[in-house]
């Protein structure tokens, strides 16, 4: 049987946080906008209860039940898994050094362009003239 527990209410936004449970085990958590009545009031009581229970998707329960029972071809999917190699500290250091070098080069390019713009350099030393290519 599905039950729920309202864990918070934000009157400014008109929403509640709801934990949905099956046999006292949490199976889903949702943030729900509480509908307003024609009179501008939040729905409450049985109307809110019915709204919350109707909104919970039955397929989530059906899927959870099937998964708990076991899926015969789960090994087929497991065989497709290729773990990502762990990144070593040396690889992280190398990547960090490469990024630092790139940032330094980009900064030098910006400085060179500014020096050319203000007339302190005649040409931009970071650009290769097309004639030399």
pLDDT digits (tens, 9 = 90+) for 49-64: 999 988 877 777 788 7
Q: What is the mean pLDDT of residues 10-38?
A: 91
The pLDDT of residue 2 is 81
pLDDT at 40 over 70: yes
The pLDDT of residue 53 is 87
Rounded CA separation 81/76 (Å): 10
pLDDT at 85 over 80: no
pLDDT at 5 over 80: yes
Q: What is the mean pLDDT of residues 67-75?
A: 92
The pLDDT of residue 30 is 87
Digit-coded pLDDT (tens) for 87-129:
677 777 887 888 888 888 888 888 888 888 888 888 888 787 7
Domain ranges of the chain: 2-71, 89-132
Q: Are 127 and 113 within 8 A, CB to CB?
A: no
Assign 47 a pLDDT band (cuts: 50, 70, 90).
very high
The pLDDT of residue 132 is 62
């Amino acid at each position: 049987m599905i039950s729920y527990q309202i864990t918070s209410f934000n009157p400014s936004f008109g929403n509640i946080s709801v934990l949905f449970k099956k046999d006292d085990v949490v199976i889903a958590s949702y943030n729900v906008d509480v509908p307003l009545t024609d009179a501008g009031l939040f729905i409450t009581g049985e109307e809110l209860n019915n709204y919350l229970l109707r909104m919970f998707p039955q397929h989530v329960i059906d899927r959870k039940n099937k998964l708990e029972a076991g899926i015969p071809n789960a090994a087929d999917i497991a065989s497709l898994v290729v773990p990502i190699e762990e990144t070593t500290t040396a690889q992280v250091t190398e990547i960090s050094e490469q990024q630092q070098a790139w940032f330094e080069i980009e900064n030098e390019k910006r400085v060179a362009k500014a020096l050319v713009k203000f007339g302190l350099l005649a040409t931009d030393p970071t650009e290769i003239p097309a004639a030399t290519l």
